[in-house]
Structure 1
Amino acid sequence: MKICVPSSSKGGLDDLVGQHFGRVPTYTIKDTETNEIRTIENKSEHMGGVGLPPELLSQEGIDVMLCGGLGDKAVQQFEQFGIQVYVGAKGTVEETIMEWEAGKLPKATSENACQTHEHHHQH
Structure 2
Amino acid sequence: MPKKSMRVVIPIADEEGRRLSEHFGRAPYFAVIEIDEGKVVDREVIPNTSEHFGGYGRPPDRLLSLQPDAIITVGMGPRALSRFQEADVAVIQAEGLDVEANLRRFLEGSLRELTEGCLEARWR
Q: Given the two structures, how large is their TM-score scaled by the length of structure 1? A: 0.81
Which residue pairs with 1:40 in the alignment? Answer: 46
Deviation per CA, 1:53-83: give whole Å up to 9, x if none. Answer: 1111111121100000123222101123332
Q: Select the residue among 78, 93, 99 that pairs with 2:99.
A: 93
Question: 45-54 or 89-98, which moves further after superposition?
Answer: 89-98
- Name the % identity: 27
Does 1:25 find its partner at 2:28? yes
Deviation per CA, 1:4-50: give whole Å up to 9, x if none. Answer: 111001143xx201010110110011101261011111011111111
Work out the CA distance in 1 between the residues paired with 2:66 and 2:114: 21
Unaligned runs of 5+ in 1: none
Equivalent pairs counted in the alignment come to: 115
Higher share in helix: 1
Work out the CA distance in 2 between the residues paired with 1:89 and 1:42: 22
Work out the CA distance in 1 between the residues paired with 2:35 and 2:48: 21
Q: Given the two structures, how large is their TM-score scaled by the length of structure 2? A: 0.81
1:119–1:42: structure 2 CA closer, same or farther, 3 Å change rule? closer
Does 1:16 find its partner at 2:19? yes
Question: 82-91 or 42-51, which moves further after superposition?
Answer: 82-91
Question: 78-87 or 55-64, which moves further after superposition?
Answer: 78-87
Does 1:3 find its partner at 2:8? yes
1:2–1:62: 8 Å Cα contact kept in structure 2? yes
1:29–1:37: 8 Å Cα contact kept in structure 2? yes
Higher share in strand: 2
